[in-house]
Amino acid sequence: MNAIRRFARGYVWLVETFGILSMAVVAFIAVLQVVFRYVIGASLYWSEELMRYLTIWSVFGVAGLAYSRGEMLGFTVLVDAMPRLPRQMVKLAVRIVIVVFLTVIAWYGFDFAWRTHNDLATALRISMFWVHLSIPVGCVLMAIHVIAQQFLPEPEPQSEHIAFHSGEALE
């Protein structure tokens, strides 16, 4: 069990580091592009394309981790109000549908990526296969997270107080 925990921690560290570094690179390139365009007077023709592709990879790369942490948008009021057994059955059914959907998207995403492997990105001149591969990779990673959620202990629901007025937020 310790090996699994170490692997999981390493995986989480890797995904978080990838997400942070890729967004840091995007921010750096954006600043660099502004400096080059408005200070130096020479635009970096490749910057927008690189920022776009890094953002795509970052989103697909960290989406599974966001799912596991409960950071995805969801409407769970009715499910959370159910007794334990029906709630578990509904969550299992939803997870099965999600995994099937992600599998289909991963399958067709890889097919699409392969069909575009001879196409080159306009500015970066890299194969579009590497850009489009983010879709099946992200879907497979998220499917692993969805499957893992089924076997992990269910956390206790936490009640959240949402401030609707600025006065409440200061209290």
Query: Any idea which of 39-43, 68-72, 108-112 has the lowest mean pLDDT?
Result: 68-72
pTM score, two decimals?
A: 0.82
pLDDT at 123: 95
pLDDT digits (tens, 9 = 90+) for 99-149: 999 999 999 999 999 999 999 999 999 999 999 999 999 999 999 999 998
Whole-number pLDDT of residue 47: 96
Give Cβ neighbours of residue 117 (< 8 Å, ≥ 6 apart): 127, 128, 129
pLDDT grade for 164, boundaries at 50, 70 and 90 = very low
